[in-house]
């Protein structure tokens, strides 16, 4: 039997194999400097941190460990956001409380030390983030471990950081709400039919059609993010149309990374619920 | 840093992603009942056994554990032969003696208990093996754990079993010779250029051109195995030609599985030597 950490690792692999996932690296598409094998190596490298999360290590520490392990490959940031979602989900699963309420409690229980681990994780890879809005009352994540003193002085927990970031970040929003979109998408994967790679692709398209993707907003602005969302709505029931869209988005370097993060999280929950690829 | 067990897991994933690998499941090709995701799940599931091998568990026990973990997916036998090669290599790497001499010593030191673990592993998945030659002086592996009493009575170690099977089985031959083809192919991957998926494909084709593949011999006879070998010789320097060959072999259900096992082993050694995908 696979443990929660094993299922999280498998979810990372199924996410990148899922095809077509317009704009993202998938089984059939990649970028010259961000290739399929970088995600395989990232998924394997994250294992130690995921197993630490399963065994009860602090969430922030396990997250930093998983990101550090992930970073030993030539593609740069492959699965930072996926791991941010997966670590509390793995912990909740290991504690037998993998539900909206259960994972929300894991997130609420995070401490200032967890916030420090989260910021330190930014030292290991270049994560694409936008300029923080002027009213955002947490240290800029781009400061990485330099922000640790600040976090301690102000007594900010990881929950505080996520709650204050939620309005501008799809992963942070999911975190503080108990992963409602993730659980819904997991049910979709579980009830779907066909090969794993196609189920994952349909889950990705469904999530992409629900909300503008944070990473697309950061990289291309909100008008493009809305266009991406609308076009996913049309493509989500037709993988051939999605395939054309995938070619176009790769060409335009439109990379809905936050939606891919939630897709990996959804695949994890589906595996934990008994989905057997 | 990835540990030897991590590198073995990554090698399993890079092997299946390597394309084109004529006749085998790869990033672009699969069979209806044996799909890409089955290999991803198999690779993740094997992790516990591989980590046991790294930590010093007996070779036969670690092998059985890795096969049992691999088997939790819908495709049946995905990586039995790969794991048979990887387990002693992981052990040798963990002990700092990853060389022909070092791994041969690991194999020579195996016991009757290790042979029992090897036979028990056949209980977990259906492995394609031919009828044993009449003069083969070891229990038929298809008996699985039923052969354990016999092994104990006759005092057969895993080394004995492999040595006596070497003439008819490419993996057993590699095992008792200290993995010379594996180390040579690993050097090829390390010195090669380009994406990991292509390096792995070229290593596979080079190995396939060297010797008739055991699994092809079992499933299609030695004339077809020789044909496959000759055609790999022509295709090994031209991945486009290899791609046509891959389509043809999948169509004819010619599956050079033993060569894929050695390719995974070679990818492992290359990773241990510092190859960074």
Per-residue pLDDT of chain B (277 residues; tens, 9 = 90+): 899 999 999 999 999 999 999 999 999 999 999 999 999 999 999 999 999 999 999 999 999 999 999 999 999 999 999 999 999 999 999 999 999 999 999 999 999 999 999 999 999 999 998 888 888 899 999 999 999 999 999 999 999 999 999 998 999 999 999 999 999 999 999 999 999 999 999 999 999 999 999 999 999 999 999 999 999 999 998 999 999 999 999 999 999 999 999 999 999 999 999 999 9
Report yes or no on A277 lying in a domain: no
Say how many Å lie between the first and final Cα of chain B, rounded: 13
Question: Is the whole model's pTM more than 0.95, yes or no?
Answer: yes
- Cβ–Cβ under 8 Å, residues A35 and A58: no
DSSP string, chain B: ---HHHHHHHHHHHHHH-S--TTS--SS--BTTB-HHHHHHHHHHTHHHHHHHHHT--HHHHHHHHHHHHT-STTS-SSHHHHHHHHHHHHHHHTT--SHHHHHHHHHT--HHHHHHHHHHTTTS-----PPPTT--S--GGGGGGGHHHHHHHT--HHHHHHHHGGG-HHHHHHHHTSHHHHHHHHHHHH--S-HHHHHHHHHHHHHHHS--HHHHHHH-HHHHHHHHHHHHHHTT-HHHHHHHHHHHHHTT---HHHHHHHHHHHHHHHHTT---
Residues 11-30 of A with CB under 8 A from B: 13-14, 17, 27-28
Interchain contact, A41 vs B73, CB within 8 Å: no
Residue B274 C-beta-side C-alpha neighbours within 13 Å: 1
Report yes or no on A260 lying in a domain: yes
Among all chains, which residue has been given the structure tokens 């409380």?
A: A97
Report yes or no on B140 lying in a domain: yes
Q: Would you call B194 an interface residue with chain A, using a CB distance cutoff of 8 Å? A: no
Domain range for A105 is 4-272
Rounded-to-integer distance, Cα B139 and Cα A145, Å = 60
Rounded-to-integer distance, Cα B180 and Cα B158, Å = 19
Tokens of A73: 């490959």
Q: What are phi and psi of B34, to 5 degrees?
A: -140, 95
Among all chains, which residue has been given the structure tokens 């809305």?
A: A226
Tokens of A52: 């630490």
CATH number at residue B84: 1.10.4200.10
Rounded-to-integer distance, Cα B266 and Cα B203, Å = 8
Tokens of B6: 């991590």
Instruction: Quote the number of domains for chain B.
Output: 1
Query: Which are the contacts of B193, defined by CB distance < 8 A and separation ≥ 6?
Result: B199
Return the SS3 of A127.
coil
Interchain contact, B37 vs A277, CB within 8 Å: yes
Rounded-to-integer distance, Cα A63 and Cα B275, Å = 26
Report yes or no on B18 lying in a domain: yes
Report yes or no on A234 lying in a domain: yes
pLDDT in tens, A117-136: 999 999 999 999 888 888 88
CB-closest option in A48, A73, A195 to B277: A73
B34 burial type by CB count under 10 A (0-12 exposed, 13-18 middle, 19+ buried): middle
CB-closest option in A17, A45, A277 to B6: A45
Among all chains, which residue has been given the structure tokens 């389509």?
A: B247
pLDDT for A237: 87
For residue A34, the cross-strand partners are A31
CB-closest option in A37, A276, A277 to B196: A37
Tokens of A108: 């609420």
pLDDT in tens, A15-51: 999 999 999 999 999 999 999 999 999 999 999 999 9
CB-closest option in A28, A44, A276 to B10: A44
pLDDT-derived band of residue A98, with 50, 70 and 90 as boundaries? Answer: very high
Q: Would you call B269 an interface residue with chain A, using a CB distance cutoff of 8 Å? A: no
- How far from B214 is each of B137, B168, B249, CA to CA, in Å? 19, 7, 16
Alpha-carbon torsion (A215, A220, A222, A225), positive or negative: negative
Rounded-to-integer distance, Cα B275 and Cα B11, Å = 11
Compare all CA atoms of chain A with the CA of B30 and give the residue at the minimum distance.
A195
Report yes or no on B277 lying in a domain: no
Among all chains, which residue has been given the structure tokens 């939630």?
A: A262
pLDDT for A134: 86
């Amino acid at each position: 039997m696979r443990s929660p950490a094993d299922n999280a690792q498998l979810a990372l692999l199924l996410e990148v194999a899922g095809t077509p996932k317009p704009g993202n690296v998938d089984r059939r598409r990649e970028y010259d400097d961000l290739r399929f094998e970088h995600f395989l190596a990232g998924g394997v490298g994250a294992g130690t941190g995921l197993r630490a999360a399963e065994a009860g290590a602090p969430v922030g520490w396990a997250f930093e460990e998983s990101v550090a392990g992930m970073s030993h490959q030539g593609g740069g940031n492959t699965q930072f956001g996926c791991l941010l979602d997966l670590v509390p989900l793995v912990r909740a699963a290991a504690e037998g409380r993998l539900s909206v309420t259960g994972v929300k409690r894991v997130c609420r229980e995070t401490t200032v030390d967890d916030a420090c681990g989260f910021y330190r994780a930014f030292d290991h890879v270049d994560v694409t983030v936008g300029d923080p809005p002027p009213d955002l009352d947490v240290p800029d994540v781009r400061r990485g471990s330099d922000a640790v003193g600040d976090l301690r002085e102000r007594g900010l927990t990881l929950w505080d950081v996520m709650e204050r970031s939620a309005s501008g970040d799809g992963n942070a929003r999911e975190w503080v709400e108990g992963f409602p979109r993730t659980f819904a998408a997991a049910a979709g994967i579980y009830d779907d039919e066909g090969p794993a790679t196609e189920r994952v692709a349909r889950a990705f398209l469904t999530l992409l059609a629900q909300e503008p993707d944070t990473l697309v907003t950061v990289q291309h602005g909100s008008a493009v993010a809305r266009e991406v969302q609308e076009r996913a709505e049309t493509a989500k029931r037709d993988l051939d149309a999605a395939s054309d869209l995938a070619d176009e988005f790769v060409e335009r370097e439109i990379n809905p990374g936050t939606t891919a993060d939630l897709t990996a999280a959804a695949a994890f929950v589906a595996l934990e619920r008994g989905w057997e690829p």
